[in-house]
A = this chain, B = another copy of it.
């Protein structure tokens, strides 16, 4: 481990809302070491972003001066410095020319800079702005083929339509994860729910959401009436609601594009991707799990920016 650390060429930082994950990479993108802490953007006190960053990367920086590159909510308005949003279609080569450098000092008073990657924006057919921050790096780090459609499930789930050579042609955000959490934790729907699994109820929700996507705030209420009327058990209601919300994404994307492809790629957390695969299966779409190492996109970005540390010969 100590030997390989001498090859260190880059520190890649995945800095989101709740977590800060840092990776020590060699020039080929291999992970030599990694550290994390719960120092996400929302938990940082008095805008002291140095503190959580140094707590994870301080030891690495004490051994060698290394470039640091980051993506995620750290570049948002609530983050350390607001990094720009690149317009779609968006390519990694352009992002590499627009890194936002934030200078900081380590505990020895040495100067460093964190290079924050840009987010991506697009405007939909109704003139609405949409934004992503962090997901673009996952897309660029993946092995998606030209023309692929990819879903990145999460609090604010993203559907991305890829162009050629890793270009993000357009994308669309759905508030699925946040709506599910709000409705079940703070709302009246949660009161009738009991923990449980029910694949059929989930599928029923998916089909309903897809077919009746024009009636979202009405059909969501059926997760209450199905409980009141006993058409679904308390243990099935949460699965049903989850299905409805994912089905709404499918219905909306279908209405927007006229047709969905035979297969859709999934990037993200295993459990969430399983759930989306199940939903896609219910509407006869093949789900393909795409690889995207957390560090691959950041490493490619650093490489395109030419900011990797060059090892001494």
Contact between chains at A252 and B215 (CB < 8 Å): yes
User: Does A109 belong to the interface (CB within 8 Å)?
Assistant: no
Mark out the residues of chain A between 158 and 217 whose CB falls within 8 Å of any chain B CB in the assembled complex.
172-176, 178-179, 182-183, 185-188, 191, 208, 211-217
Query: How extensive is the interface on chain A, given as a class?
Result: 35 or more
A211's contact among B126, B155, B220, by CB below 8 Å, is which?
Answer: B126
Contact between chains at A218 and B182 (CB < 8 Å): no
A277 to B310, CA, bound (A): 66
In the complex, what residues of B have CB within 8 A of residue A130's CB? Answer: 218, 221-222, 225
Contact between chains at A182 and B174 (CB < 8 Å): no
User: Does A228 belong to the interface (CB within 8 Å)?
Assistant: yes
The winner among A126, A128, A211 for most chain B CB atoms within 10 A is: A128
Interface string of A224-261 (1 = CB under 8 A from B): 01101101000000000000010011011001100000
Cβ distance A135 to chain B, nearest Cβ, rounded Å: 13
Given contacts A121-B229, A182-B183, A182-B187, contact A128 B174 (CB under 8 A): no
A229 to B215, CA, bound (A): 28
Cβ distance A215 to chain B, nearest Cβ, rounded Å: 4
A210 to B36, CA, bound (A): 45
Contact between chains at B248 and A217 (CB < 8 Å): yes
In the complex, what residues of B have CB within 8 A of residue A131's CB? Answer: 225, 228-229
Given contacts A179-B217, A182-B186, A218-B252, contact A228 B128 (CB under 8 A): no
Contact between chains at A213 and B214 (CB < 8 Å): yes
7 contacts between A and B (CB under 8 A): A130-B225, A131-B225, A156-B221, A185-B186, A214-B255, A216-B217, A217-B248
Extra contacts besides A178-B187, A214-B251 (5): CB < 8 Å: A130-B221, A131-B229, A182-B183, A185-B186, A216-B217
